[in-house]
Copies of this chain bind each other. A is one copy, B any other.
């Protein structure tokens, strides 16, 4: 049975002022239900594994919130990073800890802050990835692109492995310019990199040792001390020395070049919920095409009054009444200490506001 690892980091600046450094995206109920993205991620794993075999890696600042949201997870499965060292350190630590329990276990790594519309199809795709991982491949799940997206990285696929659906991954491609993204869309051999990985921990750790010996040595030392009284000391001294690097750059690109990476193409309504416009696309709108976060039709929400308004994304998150009259395609995010009003087609620029607040020294809003 699969070990599931959920790296829960990143603040989601484009979802400001809902998402904050202190209360990031994955902790918020951006799912159209009461569940947070993190809770939905764990719930989605139910057919694949158990809470005992589910690990979350998160920052010290969020450990308490994660522990309270995921009451079913054993305490020891919440791995707390003393400081952010990017995704490779987080995932590698989890792999090394799992390896001390079960040296040849298959683990999957799944982002804490993505939405999946069709979880059942997703489970099937992950099972195919697990089959590939059992054969010793470093598996990714690739998303069949539906538009020439410039905001994601891509997987460039090669030949089918056996009778499929697994395909070799030739190369990891960075976020492309618009023209290149158009080409990728036409090519039929480029998939979105959704940062879902499935592998045997021994295979991953061997590849890590080959490409990132320092990182490998560091996480191995930490994992060896994990179940001892020395954990805190070792973590405190070794963790800060680990290189800050993403798992894509650190391991997957080199592994792909060596022919060790494959992918399962997936089509299960994946969305990274990067900004409020995307959120509006993915959640169910009411009759006037308005999306009000919190579930149920807008008209029935006591705290929202929308009149002659359409295409809105409304986040009534302060408990106050949000009234809109005669506006369209607008984002209105209402939080206890900050309010955002912005057209949906400027949703990407919200992070610039956050930058500006930092420049102005107004960190309390960030």
Residues of A within 8 A of B (CB): 17, 302, 305, 307-308, 320-327, 330, 332, 334-343, 345-346, 349-350, 352-353, 356-357, 360, 362, 365
Q: How far is the CB of A292 from chain B (nearest CB, A)?
A: 13
* Distance of A225 Cα from B325 Cα, bound (Å): 49
**CB pair B352 A340 closer than 8 Å:** no
**CB pair A321 B356 closer than 8 Å:** no
Q: Which of A307, A341, A365 has the most CB of B within 10 A?
A: A341
**Across the interface, which residues of B come within 8 angstroms of A350, CB to CB?**
325
**CB pair B320 A353 closer than 8 Å:** no
Copies in the complex: 2
**CB pair A330 B341 closer than 8 Å:** yes
**Which of B321, B338, B349 lies in contact with A320, CB distance below 8 A?**
B338
* Distance of A336 Cα from B127 Cα, bound (Å): 50
**Across the interface, which residues of B come within 8 angstroms of A323, CB to CB?**
17, 338-342, 353
Q: Which of A321, A327, A334, A360 has the most CB of B within 10 A?
A: A321
Q: How far is the CB of A125 from chain B (nearest CB, A)?
A: 37
* Distance of A321 Cα from B362 Cα, bound (Å): 10
Knowing A321-B362, A323-B17 touch, does A305 contact B353 (C-beta < 8 A)? yes
**Which of B322, B325, B356, B362 lies in contact with A307, CB distance below 8 A?**
B356
**CB pair B346 A325 closer than 8 Å:** yes
A-B contact pairs, 15 of them (CB 8 A): A17-B323, A307-B356, A320-B336, A320-B337, A321-B337, A322-B338, A322-B339, A323-B339, A323-B341, A323-B353, A325-B341, A325-B352, A332-B339, A334-B339, A339-B339
**CB pair B332 A341 closer than 8 Å:** yes
Q: How far is the CB of A293 from chain B (nearest CB, A)?
A: 15
Give the nearest-CB partner of A354 in chain B. Answer: B323
**Across the interface, which residues of B come within 8 angstroms of A349, CB to CB?**
308, 325-326
**Across the interface, which residues of B come within 8 angstroms of A353, CB to CB?**
305, 307, 323, 325
**Across the interface, which residues of B come within 8 angstroms of A332, CB to CB?**
339, 341
Knowing A323-B17, A346-B325, A350-B325 touch, does A305 contact B341 (C-beta < 8 A)? no
**Across the interface, which residues of B come within 8 angstroms of A305, CB to CB?**
353, 356-357, 360
**CB pair B324 A341 closer than 8 Å:** yes
**Across the interface, which residues of B come within 8 angstroms of A338, CB to CB?**
320-323
**Across the interface, which residues of B come within 8 angstroms of A321, CB to CB?**
17, 337-339, 362, 365
Query: What are the 5 closest A-B residue pairs judged by CB atoms, nearest first?
Result: A326-B346, A321-B338, A325-B342, A324-B341, A323-B340
* Distance of A153 Cα from B120 Cα, bound (Å): 67
Knowing A302-B362, A357-B305 touch, does A327 contact B325 (C-beta < 8 A)? no
Give the nearest-CB partner of A343 in chain B. Answer: B326
* Distance of A352 Cα from B323 Cα, bound (Å): 11
**CB pair A307 B337 closer than 8 Å:** no
Q: How far is the CB of A130 from chain B (nearest CB, A)?
A: 43
* Distance of A352 Cα from B324 Cα, bound (Å): 12
**Across the interface, which residues of B come within 8 angstroms of A335, CB to CB?**
320
Give the nearest-CB partner of A341 in chain B. Answer: B324
